[in-house]
């Protein structure tokens, strides 16, 4: 399942001050080298993987530069290396909304199950929340590059993305993914789509994601938006035909709505060759959330 391997991804044309480290096949993490700071954006899955990133960037830590860590959100594949940097005294920057997630019963349960299932990877992990907190926005002025952190809720309520205006570069985190980002629940879907729209409106030339090939480019934002727009149209039509807003658990919701994954996404290999989960259960879960969110709206309309 998980590995402790970390590789530096060859620069695919983005600004050379951004380094991409990959814990294959799961997640990419970023380091931004500025005049004043070396900023690690997400800390991978455990102290061992975090330490490999640190070893890779140590040569950039000259006396004029301080090391900072940013968490895009509190999912394990983005912050379970925090403790390694915290032990070095490095400030960990994150959204205020992230902190309570670390002590939620579901998070503790997930941590214990991960430790039991894969002790070689997770036995050493102590989930460590960020300590330098912001609500909606925070600016890190690195001198040559400015990191603008801003809330992009939806995938999780505490999610943040980072825009670097001098090089028109966006670090989207998990606010957009190949083949699609997933909201936590139906009620998070509108926020997630608003976040996608906000990211696309930046019109960044370079966009890097935590779960998408590095050559996906800004087009992935638009493809994610189009996916949810197609789901909305199909779900509204289905509700109009009498499909229930909350179909029974055993219902084939893809057949009920009549929108298969393969036709809801671009007809090109990166989308058509994704893990089967995204074509079946993942897509069905998105349809259920979309039905629930617009079914509620229709019910509200009927009451007024």
Residues within the interface to Zn ion (CB under 5 A): 75, 77, 174
Distance (Å, whole) CA 224 – CA 271: 11
Q: Which is nearer to Zn ion, 77 or 158 (CB)?
A: 77
> Measured from the CB atom, is 80 or 294 closer to Zn ion?
80
Bridge partners (DSSP) listed for residue 8: 21
Q: Output the smallest distance, CB 160 to Zn ion, in A.
A: 13
* Residue number, 34 or 224, with CB nearest to Zn ion: 224
Least distance CB 109 / Zn ion (angstroms): 19
Least distance in Å: CB of 125 to Zn ion? 16
Minimum distance of Zn ion from residue 263's CB (angstroms): 26
The nearer residue to Zn ion, 75 or 223, going by C-beta atoms, is 75
Measuring CA to CA, which residue among 56, 30, 32, 34 is closest to residue 43? 30
Rounded CA gap, 40 and 74, in Å? 15
Could you tell me which residues are beta bridge partners of residue 137? 150
| In the complex, minimum distance from the CB of residue 31 to Zn ion, in angstroms, rounded to a whole number | 17
Residue number with CB closer to Zn ion (34 or 71): 71
User: Nearer Cβ to Zn ion, position 182 or 251?
Assistant: 182
**C-beta of 173: minimal distance to Zn ion in Å?**
8
Q: Give the residues across from 18 on adjacent strands.
A: 32
Residue 44 — left, alpha, or beta (φ > 0 → left; ψ -120 to 50 → alpha)? left
Q: What is the CA radius of gyration of the chain?
A: 20
Q: Which is nearer to Zn ion, 33 or 74 (CB)?
A: 74
Strand 92-95 and strand 132-134: the pairing is: parallel
Q: What's the closest the beta carbon of residue 80 comes to Zn ion, in angstroms?
A: 11
């Amino acid at each position: 399942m998980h590995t402790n391997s970390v590789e530096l991804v060859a620069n695919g044309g983005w600004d050379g001050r951004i380094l991409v480290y990959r814990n294959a096949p799961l997640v990419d993490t970023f380091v931004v080298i500025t005049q004043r700071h070396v900023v690690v954006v997400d800390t991978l899955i455990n102290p061992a993987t975090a330490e490999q990133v640190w070893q890779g960037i140590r040569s950039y830590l000259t006396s004029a530069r301080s090391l900072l860590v940013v968490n895009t959100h509190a999912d394990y594949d983005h912050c379970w290396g925090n403790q390694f940097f915290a032990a070095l005294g490095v400030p960990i920057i994150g959204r205020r909304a992230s902190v309570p997630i670390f002590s939620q019963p579901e998070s503790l349960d997930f941590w214990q199950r991960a430790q039991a299932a894969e002790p070689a990877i997770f036995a050493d992990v102590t989930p460590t929340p960020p300590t330098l907190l912001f609500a909606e926005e925070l600016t890190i002025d690195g001198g040559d590059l400015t990191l603008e952190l801003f809330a992009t809720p939806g995938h999780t309520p505490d999610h943040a993305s980072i825009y670097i205006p001098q090089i028109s570069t966006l670090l989207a985190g998990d606010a957009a993914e190949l083949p699609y980002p997933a909201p936590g629940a139906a009620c998070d879907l509108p926020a997630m789509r608003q976040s996608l729209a906000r990211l696309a409106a930046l019109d960044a030339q370079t966009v890097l994601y935590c779960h998408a090939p590095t050559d996906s480019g800004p087009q992935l934002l638009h493809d994610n938006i189009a996916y949810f727009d197609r789901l909305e149209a199909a779900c509204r039509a289905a509700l109009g035909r009498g499909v229930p807003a909350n179909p029974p658990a055993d219902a084939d919701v893809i057949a009920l709505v009549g929108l298969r994954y393969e036709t809801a996404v671009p007809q090109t290999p990166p989308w058509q060759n994704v893990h089967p989960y995204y074509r079946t259960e993942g897509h069905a879960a998105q349809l259920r959330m979309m039905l629930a969110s617009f079914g509620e709206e229709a019910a509200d309309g009927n009451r007024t």
